[in-house]
Amino acid sequence: MSALVVTGVAREARIAAAPGVETICSGGSPARLRKLLACHDPSQTPIVMSFGIAGGLNPALTPGHVVIADAVLSDGGRWKTDRDLTEALVGALQSRSDLRVLRASIVGVERALLDPLAKSSMRAQTGAAVVDMESHIAAQYAAEHGLRFAAIRVVCDPASRSLPPLVNDALAPDGSVSLRGVFRSLAREPGQIGDLLRLARDSQTAFRALARAGAVWRQAFPKA
């Protein structure tokens, strides 16, 4: 069974890569992701997976928490995930004692939420546990083409943590880190350095959990 895995950054795509898996990386741009998906042949991949890190909205979640979506929502609609796939993912991931797993909803946005107030407001409006910039686009694509959809997202920045504004300039189109963009943003706003260092620590925790999740999620597909 093959899968199309939608990610935001290149590191997520590398973790997801495997035989029978095709990855698409947005490079942090929802507009670019929509264009890439418009060029994709949906007949080649019956399963669409949103996979990567996310911002925490539920205050109880800390970096490294794994969220398996039961639904994805955005301003454009609400999409349920495939029940059998989701059940299989929950079972596979909860079997790992080194992963903290929660089934909950995800909200998709067009730009990153940078501060706790914005995250708190989004949590109050939607009830979602985490936020990212790809899941809603992947969910809509799957729904439009009658494909099965699931999502795994790992908390990076918790609800109480601010993100430095440079996150909007930090990625190259291929999803790799744009050092030029990072340094240019730091030159404009050097006060970001504290938030950047905290983000680096949170990211390492999140990506370690994402790698562990990536090692087991494919086991769920044959059972679904």
3-state secondary structure of 143: helix
pLDDT tens digit sequence for 117-148? 999 999 999 999 999 999 999 999 999 999 99
Here the CATH number for the domain that contains residue 189 is: 3.40.50.1580
Per-residue pLDDT of 94-117, as tens digits, reads 988 899 999 999 999 999 999 999
- pLDDT of residue 20 exceeding 80, the answer is yes
Amino acid at 19: P
- Domain range for 127: 3-223
Helices 30-38, 135-144: crossing angle, 10 deg rounding: 20
Say which range, 54-63, 77-86, 119-128, 162-171, has the weakest mean pLDDT: 162-171
The answer for residues whose C-beta is within 8 angstroms of residue 83's C-beta and 6 or more apart is none
Q: Which of 1, 18, 34, 64 is nearest to 201 (CA)?
A: 64
Provide the token pair at 133.
């910039």
End-to-end CA distance of the chain: 10
Lowest mean pLDDT among 4-18, 77-91, 178-192: 178-192
Residues with Cβ within 8 Å of 183's Cβ and at least 6 positions away in sequence, in order, are none
The model's pTM is: 0.93
Percent of the chain at pLDDT exceeding 90: 74
Is residue 224's pLDDT more than 80?
no
What's the number of domains the chain is made of? 1
